[in-house]
Structure 1
Amino acid sequence: MTATAFLAIERLCVRLGGRVLVDDVSVALPRRCLVALVGPNGAGKTTLLRALAGLVPSQGQVTIDGKDLAGLAVRERAVRFAYLPQGHAVHWPLPVRDVVALGRYPHGATDPRRLGPSDAAAVDRALHEADLMALQDRPVSELSGGERGRVALARALATQAPVLLADEPIASLDPYYQLSVMALLRKQADAGALVVVVTHDLGLAARFADRVLTLRDGRLSNAGAPDVALSADRLAEIFAIEAFRGVHDGQPVIVPWAAR
């Protein structure tokens, strides 16, 4: 591990139900970085993200800014890690603003309708960044799947955590909002956050990420810049595909083209 790592993962393993889901993963990640976590279905991407958030038991060590994750109280961990899970099920017809305000709970805001000035400002900013100001009074249960996805993202942004863990945040979005959300996550990284995004979109990973981590069978098979981690040889090895590769407006383009 490097001394400058903000998030350091050392020999992380996750075993659930007698199966090894994450196996001996070690990597050091800095702030101001957008990391794309890619790999085939069942590779362990979601489990790794949940382990980093402290949501599943694991072996090994995870440190954030030099502090051992295992030694942090639940609220301290929640202030440092904002976690956006897959799926956006909402079971109560709460207004969008109230759901987003739940992101302030780790900071002590227990009533979404009685926010202090700093909490209200954080919620306003998250609503604006996720393009939800016009929907803030709508019940979340009345929204489309894509709109609920943006609400979930806004809730995570409202936490203002230095690490944002996002599990397939663009999966249910149309192309416009896929690009908008990736640009927003890129903005969070540029502002100083460490953003780790699970995605199956190799083209957007190549375009927006600083680093790409590739998981296969629970093991970290590659970690590096997109042009290295998503090279033709790597795509063939990990995904068993060939891809069209190009450049548009100075940005890399990767389009999965054929199964091998």
Structure 2
Amino acid sequence: MIEARFKVQLGKFSLDADLQAEGFTGVVGPNGAGKTTLLLTMAGFREANGELKVDGVDVIREPPERRRLVYVDSNTFIPHLEVWDHLRFGAKLRKREVSDEEVKEVAEILGVPVKGRVGKLSLGNKIRVSLATALLSGNRGILVDEVFTNLHESSKVVNEFKRACRARKVDVVFTTHVEELAREAERLYLVSSGKTVRKF
């Protein structure tokens, strides 16, 4: 479980986060409400006062690489890498061994084309590569920022990703502005007026 109880101040904007994420947790809210700020703070790219617990351990003062959380948006890919090398990249950073069979399995589940250079792929396939890389990295949680809407057959991919994460005991927090995708959440939060409110 990921538990976020912190406050972020960015100029005149403030965010008061109170979120418990287990399984597949969605975050909705209008543009500018703070959804991306929430995820970036959880990932360690924004400073905050409070606590962020991953399986009961407070990591709010830890650098991003030690939080066991990985952030994914439309630009979190390395264009010059071959797809196969990219899929192993996150695991390599964490010094985690992954077998060829595991890489092939995750690539197949998410419909990742395993040949070619990442930068040459369509946006949707780049996102699939990023999601697969995050899943194979062995991190405890994946923070997905508004990328599912850029995927062809997004609901199908989200369901496959959800099942793959559940099988590996990886919690996911994702933001979306699409009602259909929000329905895929097992828990749903609304960010409004600088606060997170649980909807169900």
Match of 1:223 in 2: 198
Determine if contact 2:77/2:118 at 8 Å carries over to the other structure: no
- CA distance in 1 between partners of 2:62 and 2:35 (Å): 23
**Contiguous gaps of at least 5 residues in structure 2:** none
Moved over 6 A (4+): none
Alignment of structure 1 residues 118-157 onto 2, 5 Å: 118=98, 120-132=100-112, 135-157=113-135
Amino-acid identity (%): 28
**Contiguous gaps of at least 5 residues in structure 1:** 1-5, 110-115, 226-260
- CA distance in 1 between partners of 2:69 and 2:101 (Å): 19
Higher relative contact order (CA 8 A, sep 6+): 2
Q: Cα–Cα, structure 1 residues 95 and 203, in superposed 2: closer, same or farther, change >3 Å? A: same
SS at match of 2:148: coil
Match of 2:13 in 1: 20
Alignment of structure 1 residues 95-134 onto 2, 5 Å: 95-108=82-95, 116=97, 118=98, 120-132=100-112
Residue 198 (1) aligns with residue 189 (2): no
SS at match of 1:197: strand
CA deviations over 1:195-248 (Å, ceiling 9, x no partner): 111111112212x1111100013211x3032xxxxxxxxxxxxxxxxxxxxxxx
Q: Cα–Cα, structure 1 residues 121 and 162, in superposed 2: closer, same or farther, change >3 Å? A: farther
Deviation at 1:39, TM superposition (A): 0.4
- CA distance in 2 between partners of 1:75 and 1:28 (Å): 21
Match of 2:75 in 1: 87
Q: Cα–Cα, structure 1 residues 168 and 121, in superposed 2: closer, same or farther, change >3 Å? A: same
CA RMSD of aligned residues (A): 2.1
Q: Cα–Cα, structure 1 residues 130 and 20, in superposed 2: closer, same or farther, change >3 Å? A: same
The count of aligned residue pairs is 199
Q: Cα–Cα, structure 1 residues 179 and 104, in superposed 2: closer, same or farther, change >3 Å? A: same
Larger radius of gyration, structure 1 or 2? 1
With structure 1 as the length reference, what TM-score do the two structures score? Answer: 0.69
Q: Cα–Cα, structure 1 residues 50 and 88, in superposed 2: closer, same or farther, change >3 Å? A: closer
